[in-house]
Amino acid sequence: MTQLLLDTGPSPFGWHRYETFLRCPQLYAYSHKGPRHDDSESGRALALGSMVHVGLAHYYARMREEQNGNDPDVLYRPEEAVTALAAKKDGPAWHEFAGLARDIVRGYLTRYAAERPRILHVEEVFSLEFDGGAPLTMRVDLVWEAKDGRVYFVDHKTTGRITTSHPRWYAMSGQFLAYRWAGRLAFGERFGGVVCNLIQTDAKDLTFARPQLAPVPGQLRKFPAAIAEAWRRIQEIEARNLAVSEWPAHPSEHTCWTRYGACPMYSRCEWATPPDDQG
Ligand code: SF4
């Protein structure tokens, strides 16, 4: 029997695109309008995070199939899904971290073995449209109905180290603000909120936590305006038909070199030449 490998990749026009634009329009242009290249560090984090995601997606999707009286074996088992994704990507980081990803998924399944929420959606795309036709799509990791009868959007987050800052840090993230808006619109009063499903990926200290996110009502209220404004600015710059290397830059120590390291386009900006000199 051919088994399904779920798509856990980005949605068509997600928060990350806006986030990239708000960080730096030049980075947005290099990322979405020209040829891409990745730095090795983010490539490694991306590979591990993606493989853990795909393992958990199959765990919950199989649970949903069982709950609906269907055959869960139409989907890979969680650890098999990790192996299948590594084989499909076939890159050094994917092969190097597949074993760790399987260990993390195994650890997660043990930690939450007794938990049986009702699974409503796994890796499905939700779409919003704000003022001015600003699109915002999101592939939600998991939507479940908990024992309290309320519906929650669950987002799996892998991190090297879980800290006490995570609940406030993610509360302000546009990704979680978007989930809160989409959840309210889709499920109304039944919507219970967002679960930040933290997974510490240290092989010697696998840890799992679901901290309560800070409520941030002020930022939640202003989120649609922030998206509409970013969309308007993207359209405005697009209309200028600039060369990719000539989009406005936001150079600063908070954009070009962040806590995650150098911007992936650092070297391109460092040596960027005017379009007339680009041969
Ligand atoms: S290096 Fe700085 S200016 Fe260049 S794309 Fe990255 S963030 Fe923008």
In a domain, 150, yes or no: yes
Q: Whose CA is nearest to atom 7 of ligand 1?
A: 256
Stretch 255-268: mean pLDDT, rounded? 89
- Cα(38)–Cα(15) distance, rounded to whole angstroms? 19
Write the CB contacts of 78 (distance below 8 Å, at least 6 apart in sequence): 55, 56, 58, 59, 62, 105, 109
In a domain, 259, yes or no: no
Q: Are 210 and 193 in contact (CB under 8 A)?
A: no
In a domain, 232, yes or no: no
Digit-coded pLDDT (tens) for 114-137: 999 999 999 999 999 999 999 999
Q: How far is the CA of 247 from the centre of ligand 1 (A)?
A: 10
pLDDT above 80 (res 2): no
Backbone angles phi, psi at 270, to 5 degrees: -55, -40
Q: Give the range of the structural domain holding residue 167, as residue numbers without chain letter.
A: 15-219
Percent of the chain, pLDDT > 70?
95
In a domain, 173, yes or no: yes
Q: Which ligand 1 atom sits closest to the C-alpha of 24?
A: 8
Q: pTM of the predicted model, to two decimals? A: 0.90
In a domain, 254, yes or no: no
Q: Terminus-to-terminus CA distance in the chain, angstroms? A: 52
Q: How far is the CA of 277 from the centre of ligand 1 (A)?
A: 20
Stretch 205-228: mean pLDDT, rounded? 96
Domain tally, the chain: 1
Burial of 2 (0-12, 13-18, 19+ CB in 10 A): exposed
In a domain, 256, yes or no: no
Q: How far is the CA of 28 from the centre of ligand 1 (A)?
A: 9
In a domain, 9, yes or no: no
Q: Which ligand 1 atom sits closest to the C-alpha of 252?
A: 2
Please give all residues whose beta carbon lies within 6 A of any atom in ligand 1, as ranges: 24, 26-27, 30, 249-251, 255-256, 263, 265-266, 269
**What is the per-residue pLDDT for 278?**
55
H or E element: which one contains 78? helix 78-89
Q: How far is the CA of 266 from the centre of ligand 1 (A)?
A: 6
**What is the per-residue pLDDT for 41?**
46
In a domain, 154, yes or no: yes
CATH number at residue 136: 3.90.320.10
Stretch 245-259: mean pLDDT, rounded? 93
Digit-coded pLDDT (tens) for 50-86: 999 999 999 999 999 999 999 999 999 999 999 999 9
The residue with tokens 């994917």 is 94
